[in-house]
Structure 1
Amino acid sequence: MPSRTRVEEFIAVVLSGRHDEAIERFYAEDASMQENLNPPRVGRDLLATQERATMAKYARIDTELRGPIFIEGDIVVINWLFRFTDAEGTSFTIDEIAYQQWQGDLIHRERFYYDPGQVKKK
């Protein structure tokens, strides 16, 4: 079960824009991430590599914490708002819920819930 302090440390790294570092520091070696109903991706190294590839596509990724953080035993629920902006200044925003299952002080499973229609560039 993660401490509130550990979860807040994770959130601080994500809010600072170091999304790949958050994966490297706070996810278990065999962690998985799942986007909505897509198949999960497994393995911290793969997750960090894919995160760096996503980050490289955009000139900016601004991250905001929305609402309270819910912690109940090994379950943590976070509402994030991400704004992705490309080199031309075109952007889109994703408002998502991250449902995390922790083992000790590391994230073991994470599933993201969001409307895929938000990914349309505006």
Structure 2
Amino acid sequence: MASLLEKISDLNDLVLQGKAMDAFEKYYHQDVSMQENENQPTLGKENNREREKEFFSSIVEFRGAKPLNVSVGEGVSMVEWHYDYNHKDWGERNYTQVSVQEWKDGQIIREKFYYNS
């Protein structure tokens, strides 16, 4: 059975290969809750799948993403990412974000994104 560090490393690698939706299907729990800063969380895999698809389809130019730091604890992982892209509604985005993932049954049950908007 893969360790949490192996799982989050594989998830990050899939994202870097342009396979974020494959990573989502593989590593996100059916009952996942995903939350941007202090906004209302999006609940359930189907709702989050649509949210993710909408986000990726809105990127008009992608210049890069890089995981800067990865930390793993008991049932939790954190990844500091740097992103650089243009979004059709938000314009140029070049920022650092921390994603905190809580794991259950080998999948992410809750993820919260922290960034300066």
TM range (shorter): 0.7 to 0.9
Report the Cα distance in structure 1 between the residues aligned to 2:95 and 2:47, rounded to whole angstroms. Answer: 22
Give the corresponding residue for 2:24: 23
When normalised by structure 2's length, the TM-score is 0.86
Partner AA of 2:28 in structure 1: Y
Shift of 1:4: 1.7
Identity %: 22
Cα deviation for residue 22 of structure 1 reads 1.7
Q: How many residues align?
A: 113
Give the aligned residue type for 1:63.
A
1:65 aligns with 67
Q: Which residue of 2 aligns with 1:108?
A: 109
Distance 2:82 2:104 in 1: 25
Query: How much is the aligned-residue C-alpha RMSD, in angstroms?
Result: 1.9
TM-score, normalised with respect to structure 1 = 0.82
Q: 1:1-122 maps to which residues of 2 (within 5 A)?
A: 2-61=3-62, 62-67=64-69, 69-86=70-87, 91-116=92-117
Moved more, 29-38 or 2-11: 2-11
Deviation, 1:5, is 1.4
The gaps in structure 2 that reach 5 residues or longer are none
Higher fraction of strand:
2
